[in-house]
Structure 1
């Protein structure tokens, strides 16, 4: 990755080498300061052969290769630098040395440098994951199972091709291939032409690009253009360009030409109203734009004041009138003291390239989840998507899980190449919901909710005060699951479902529970308790009766809006008039006891005895029945009339 993205290294470079840049008057230093690294590297190597092994020369020699992504030579000369001046180097050089070693696959030595500098950097503000003691993490990263199939595109040229962007059924990308729009001019950083935007057709499945041609004469200039993104209707383009408009190329106080994001609108098959975005500056770089799916946020890379490292990812809100908010840094969960760049934003993910988070060497692609404006810890997407070289400019269609990534890994056609990939369609979903009481619809806190696959419990959580629950365990697509709610003293409910074939689908599964003494009989809700025992020919409430009646009291206190009626019944033995009178006295005695335990009298609408007039079986007068059959008819019923 040796082009437009490397300009973001400039501020980091100047901070570490500018202190001695003015002390020499060599051609090599002048070439280095102009970012003509290939030529400078040759000149510094010649100086070393002549005996100049000063710290400044070795630093710049290593940097010349590092900034052109030649990690083999960078590691060689940083190694020389460390062997002579280890105790007199800034932390940035430990970072670059580790990056170079990882870029060559020398993870053993990289981990050794990490260990040394973990202790030395405890009191510094230079903080990147690469400089932490990550023995176990780097081994885990190397053992990460592949989840991408990566394919080199036949459309890549011998020059630099990178930064694919979706444009309907086409792809727009940056390339230094000669478009014949302008007389070929060489960029002396690496002696190749300047970047322009090109457009190509996609083959079936997106595995290759064909029919490559220049994108637009009104966009492409005689300087760099790259990293385009389009609005949903493809009526607006945002892209990166050198600080160049109609009035010529502009430079900052140090003579650097920085990058800016420009915007243009589609008009009659052309692009009009080309303008730079208002938060750009002559004094720092802004580039690599990416739009949120709703088009209301623009993410980008910059080294503006306040940046944590070489470059950070920022965002601005895009207002309805086309104006922008002030830039906001995404913070240290995403940004590090290294480089973060090339954001790509989907509905709830941000993909980006970084060399500050732990990786395989150079820039790696990471993903993080966005939730309510916060970000999860970025995760490395692993090999073969990432490599020992620079891997960046990742875009993906999250429906098909197909996309493109750019890399300067070995085996390509040019310096930077575009690769297509297919990600394993690991369909992941989540489950959340609310537990409520089936009787009155109120939330139920402290219910246990379990997730099952077959008979295996995958997760178990408790419902919150508002009845809500959410499982942390993700589930797969097209799989049968069961969710069950339970609570002591309650009858739970379960929900069995098959997950759809839709990635990142969130299941909203409501669950209900009810007290296990509340039942539904004959179309009515009732409080179901054991038999209320009365002494023969008596209606006094016995100690045995209070055991059951106290259950009614407990439930009525739990449901303060509950209104009931009491019905008392006898079997057919005895005179009809006697049974009617006795059951009525028992019903009213039952009511009086419940009221005496703190239940308002108005919550018991009635207490009536019905004698043997409402038998539940055939055991009427003159019918011979067993004691058990008669017991069925001897009952007190607590019928729920209202719950809320």
Structure 2
């Protein structure tokens, strides 16, 4: 995208400098004469100046002219010579130039480096960390668009389409019949004028073009326009021009928004009159790229005015009538980034815009942000083939037919910027969440506090969570529909399992049940507690010594602890409610300690038994308390020894 629509701010490196010996090159650069500037900086490099500043400017001269091969050449040398000891913005530009030449693997690496070094207030830092969405995710987005290059495209710049009645208005650098020789030094192309053409019956091509308006076209740039719902008012972008170009204190000519009214005579001849500047224009910053809401009440536009988050932001004003408007309002960091947000197009369903600050495929990509009660949702990249590794922008659409137009300077076009028609086949709505329950393989009981790791089909860890008391879990990560994932489940005393699955399509839940089995059949989980389950340990009446039948059961614990040498347990003994509380507590405590002594006597280290405590009748597992009539079998349930696993 090599024309005035990039807004004058973009003519400058964020880290400008001045060296007297390169005054000529700097002068070209500051005037946005990038082709001449590049030649001058390259001549300096050929003469042996590999300074950081010259390499930066050489790369910038190509970067701002959207020549990513040239930008990559000098940014690559810059990074090779100075490593990461360059301004963080150059890591961002280097990553973009890598995307521009198709090296997405290297681009991903440098995006992450940029993310690590970016200012914490820079929204691009989080987006380019690729923790939520990666380049691979964007590359793998399902294709929704079929594109066709329009017949009206030339070898020069053609872009900025907009519907006008049943025709298409757009901007072109093709020479008009009046101004044959004037060239815009940014890209050595003629200045832009607005043309209009006939849309064919299938809305896939445009023919029979002519000049849109003799009243609106000047000897400088006119581009990117919008109409009121009744199409009687036009809003359009033009150089700050009042008989001659108006420049700011630094010699920069900015862009402004203008409006005009439709005049139609009895013969159907259309003209535009009463051209006026919008009141929030300025000689000190640029305003351009308008789009009007379907109800005609709001005007969205792009500017680098004070209050901008990044290089260029999208703003909105209320249209109050009689060329009066509310104060411009920035759409905020959900939409705008430290990069460029450009070419908004608003419908009653969504805001479409181009950006290089949100993660994309390279250069400017087209994003969609749904309208939600006056707010905008997180922008979504519309993917290839609508987007490419170069600049893709100027998206407009008829939401009823899902047909529209988009602009791109991709290499498969006819020249510089081309306009493409498209047909969109919307993909099925995908709003899935991954849920499930973790249970024991043998008993079917729920397992709490199991660690669950969601892993992508490429093996990337996406999220970790824990099952709740009911064994249930839900991942916050929003998966792609019909895509492969797997869940790794881990829990102390259980075999780790990996469960592969594919997400459902549409809206709803993808339920993935997880079954865990303990590492040994003697190990069970009860109420979220891991225990060793052996037969009942019997003691003689009022005694605590270990009988032979009890020893045979305790030997199972000894064997298990030998099998798992890191296992640590604690012993808890309990009685029924008969006899006094003091007696029961003392008896159970003697039995717990006797049990520990036996296990230690079988060559198990004493420190592997964390504690051995008797709780008497304080932890009954049924209703058989004092004064309650219970059978012997019911009392027997309370006379138990428990072996609780602390770690393994």
TM-score of the superposition, structure 2-length normalised? 0.64
Quick one: which of 208, 216, 223 aligns to 2:205? Answer: 208
In the TM superposition, what is the alpha-carbon distance from 1:122 to its structure 2 partner? 5.7
Q: Is it true that 1:389 corresponds to 2:390 in the alignment?
A: yes
Q: Secondary structure at the match of 2:281?
A: coil
**Deviations 1:504-542 (CA, angstroms, capped at 9, x unpaired):** xxxxxxxxxxxxxxxxxxxxxxxxxxxxxxxxxxxxxxx
Quick one: which of 110, 115, 119 aligns to 1:118? Answer: 115
Q: Is it true that 1:219 corresponds to 2:202 in the alignment?
A: no
Alignment of 1:534-613 (within 5 A): none
Q: Please, which moves more after superposition, 249-258 or 417-426?
A: 417-426
Asked whether the 8 Å contact 1:128–1:337 carries over to 2, the reply is no
What is the CA–CA distance in structure 2 between the aligned matches of 1:116 and 1:353, rounded to whole Å?
24
Asked whether the 8 Å contact 2:92–2:110 carries over to 1, the reply is no
Partner of 1:179: 176
**Deviations 1:49-97 (CA, angstroms, capped at 9, x unpaired):** 1111111110000001101111111112111111122343222111111
In the TM superposition, what is the alpha-carbon distance from 1:311 to its structure 2 partner? 0.1
| Aligned residue pairs, count | 429
**Deviations 1:24-52 (CA, angstroms, capped at 9, x unpaired):** 44322211111110111122112211111
What is the CA–CA distance in structure 2 between the aligned matches of 1:117 and 1:295, rounded to whole Å?
41
Asked whether the 8 Å contact 2:151–2:206 carries over to 1, the reply is yes
Alignment of 1:43-58 (within 5 A): 43-58=40-55
Partner of 1:588: none
**Deviations 1:317-341 (CA, angstroms, capped at 9, x unpaired):** 0014441000000000000000001
Q: Is it true that 1:190 corresponds to 2:180 in the alignment?
A: no
What is the CA–CA distance in structure 1 between the aligned matches of 2:156 and 2:406, rounded to whole Å?
16
Quick one: which of 128, 131, 135 aligns to 1:131? Answer: 128
Q: Is it true that 1:264 corresponds to 2:260 in the alignment?
A: yes
Alignment of 1:237-386 (within 5 A): 237-245=234-242, 247-268=243-264, 269-386=270-387
Partner of 2:445: none
In the TM superposition, what is the alpha-carbon distance from 1:248 to its structure 2 partner? 2.0
In the TM superposition, what is the alpha-carbon distance from 1:125 to its structure 2 partner? 4.2
What is the CA–CA distance in structure 2 between the aligned matches of 1:428 and 1:10, rounded to whole Å?
37
Structure 2 CA distance for partners of 1:96 and 1:30, relative to 1, 3 Å: same
Unpaired stretches in structure 2, ≥5 consecutive residues:
265-269, 432-477, 479-648
What is the CA–CA distance in structure 1 between the aligned matches of 2:96 and 2:15, rounded to whole Å?
17
In the TM superposition, what is the alpha-carbon distance from 1:121 to its structure 2 partner? 2.6
In the TM superposition, what is the alpha-carbon distance from 1:123 to its structure 2 partner? 4.7
What is the CA–CA distance in structure 1 between the aligned matches of 2:130 and 2:192, rounded to whole Å?
39
Alignment of 1:24-103 (within 5 A): 24-103=21-100
Asked whether the 8 Å contact 2:69–2:100 carries over to 1, the reply is yes
TM-score of the superposition, structure 1-length normalised? 0.64
What is the CA–CA distance in structure 1 between the aligned matches of 2:48 and 2:123, rounded to whole Å?
33
What is the CA–CA distance in structure 2 between the aligned matches of 1:84 and 1:340, rounded to whole Å?
31
Asked whether the 8 Å contact 1:161–1:174 carries over to 2, the reply is yes
Structure 2 CA distance for partners of 1:63 and 1:429, relative to 1, 3 Å: closer
Alignment of 1:607-626 (within 5 A): none
Q: Secondary structure at the match of 2:238?
A: strand
Asked whether the 8 Å contact 1:228–1:239 carries over to 2, the reply is yes
Asked whether the 8 Å contact 1:369–1:376 carries over to 2, the reply is yes
Alignment of 1:151-166 (within 5 A): 151-166=148-163
Partner of 1:536: none
In the TM superposition, what is the alpha-carbon distance from 1:412 to its structure 2 partner? 1.0
In the TM superposition, what is the alpha-carbon distance from 1:197 to its structure 2 partner? 0.2
**Deviations 1:301-360 (CA, angstroms, capped at 9, x unpaired):** 000011111100000000144410000000000000000010000003000000000000
What is the CA–CA distance in structure 2 between the aligned matches of 1:349 and 1:28, rounded to whole Å?
43
What is the CA–CA distance in structure 2 between the aligned matches of 1:154 and 1:278, rounded to whole Å?
38
